Amino acid sequence: MAKIFIDGDAGTTGLEIKQRLAGKANFELVAIAPKLRKDASAKRDVLASVDVAILCLPDAAAKETAALAETLGGQAPRLLDASTANRVAEGWVYGFPELCRGQAAKIGAARRVANPGCYATGAIALLRPLIDAGLMASDQPLTINAVSGYSGGGRQMIESYEKGEAPPFELYALSLEHKHVAEIVAHSRLTAWPLFAPSVGNFRQGMLVSIPLELDALPGRPQASDLAAALTRHYAGAEHVRVAKAPASGRLDALALNGTDDLELFVFANEARRQALLVARLDNLGKGASGAAMQNLELMLGERIANSE
């Protein structure tokens, strides 16, 4: 029976993972007393007693826990980091199993796994297969637009929306230095920094990530159907990622996958204008956070997390 410790189980992602693990049979959830959660000695003892520690912490605290675990040597648990701290760090495996062939096996064998960011999951899922297939250049000038439910914005943003104090819609990160861009660049195999414009809507969860393309600016001037075919090939057989048919309405509901761990990819096109729009849809709390963590945890444990029934 695997022993699991969630470091930071009071935050949104930590609570979601804890709820998902409730009532499961083949693991033991180990906790630390709230008054001792910042006590390094007490945390070190907990880390030494578990098989996997899931870090649901601010970046600085996640780095501290990872460093503390390293002092345990052979007693150190495997780490699954849900923060931004280690997504492009050396010695950490990126926790997007569908990234490329063999990635799921790397996650399963890894001592340290970094859970992807929600926006990054959508963007990388669209970009990496096209770059690998030679349909997009690694230095392609790109704009990435995205909208998320407010639950991905942390306690202050969540409270602001739930109290009715926030606007219906807002752009943010207008310094153009959003923390997810580094992992998008690294794991999509981009060499040019994309222009990323995230936004928040007045809904709790749900996400759309969209990337507009001029088809004649891409290598070989492909058809939009070539892009869709490359995505379909890449994700053939994937359990949680699928290429979906563009709806005839020309509209897309950001909340349609809420409560699931799925990721849908779309290619909208106007061949007469030689333009395409790539779109990823997901639940920012599902495949964008706790759902991805559960997928990675199962790979690390080498088995499904079974229900107690």
Least confident of 64-73, 152-161, 187-196: 152-161
User: What separation in angstroms does the CA of 27 have from each of 104, 242, 273, 280, 291?
Assistant: 21, 30, 55, 33, 17
Decide if 2-116+289-301 and 118-284 have a common fold.
no
Using the structure block, give the residue that is written with the tokens 């310094």: 175
Q: Tens digits of per-residue pLDDT, 77-87? A: 999 999 999 99
In this model, does residue 21 exceed pLDDT 70?
Answer: yes
pLDDT the model gives residue 304: 62
CATH number of 2-116+289-301: 3.40.50.720
Task: Measure the CA–CA gap between 64 and 57, rounded to whole angstroms.
Answer: 10
In this model, does residue 23 exceed pLDDT 80?
Answer: no
Q: Tens digits of per-residue pLDDT, 88-139? A: 999 999 999 999 999 999 999 999 999 999 999 999 999 999 999 999 999 9
Q: Which of 118, 130, 190, 215 is catalytic?
A: 118
- The residue among 308 and 257 whose pLDDT is bigger is 257
Task: Measure the CA–CA gap between 4 and 53, rounded to whole angstroms.
Answer: 6
Using the structure block, give the residue that is written with the tokens 């699954």: 80
Q: Tens digits of per-residue pLDDT, 126-158? A: 999 999 999 999 999 999 999 999 998 888 888
pLDDT the model gives residue 309: 37
Task: Measure the CA–CA gap between 100 and 135, rounded to whole angstroms.
Answer: 16
Percent of the chain past pLDDT 70, that is, above it, reads 98
Give residue 207's Cα distance to chain centre.
Answer: 11
> Is 146 within 8 Å of 117 (Cβ atoms)?
no
Task: Measure the CA–CA gap between 57 and 85, rounded to whole angstroms.
Answer: 9
Instruction: For residues 29-33, give the mean pLDDT.
Output: 91
Instruction: For residues 15-19, give the mean pLDDT.
Output: 93
| Edge-to-edge strand list for the sheet holding 93-94 | 27-30, 2-7, 52-55, 78-81, 112-114, 93-94
Q: Tens digits of per-residue pLDDT, 217-228? A: 999 999 999 999
Question: Is 118 an active-site residue?
Answer: yes
Task: Measure the CA–CA gap between 142 and 238, rounded to whole angstroms.
Answer: 26
Give residue 275's Cα distance to chain centre.
Answer: 28
The angle at the Cα of 239, spanning 301 to 255, to the nearest 5 degrees, equals 110
* Fold annotation for 118-284: Dihydrodipicolinate Reductase; domain 2 (3.30.360)
pLDDT band at 305 (very low <50, low <70, confident <90, very high): low
Burial class of 282 by CB neighbour count within 10 A (0 to 12, 13 to 18, 19+):
buried
Query: 113 — phi, psi (to 5°)?
Result: -125, 135
Domain segments of the chain as ranges: 2-116+289-301, 118-284
Q: Tens digits of per-residue pLDDT, 171-191? A: 999 999 999 999 999 999 999
Average pLDDT, the chain: 94
- The residue among 204 and 24 whose pLDDT is bigger is 204
- Nearest-CA neighbor of 125 among 219, 225, 244, 299? 244
pLDDT the model gives residue 38: 83
In this model, does residue 214 exceed pLDDT 90?
Answer: yes
Predicted model pTM: 0.94
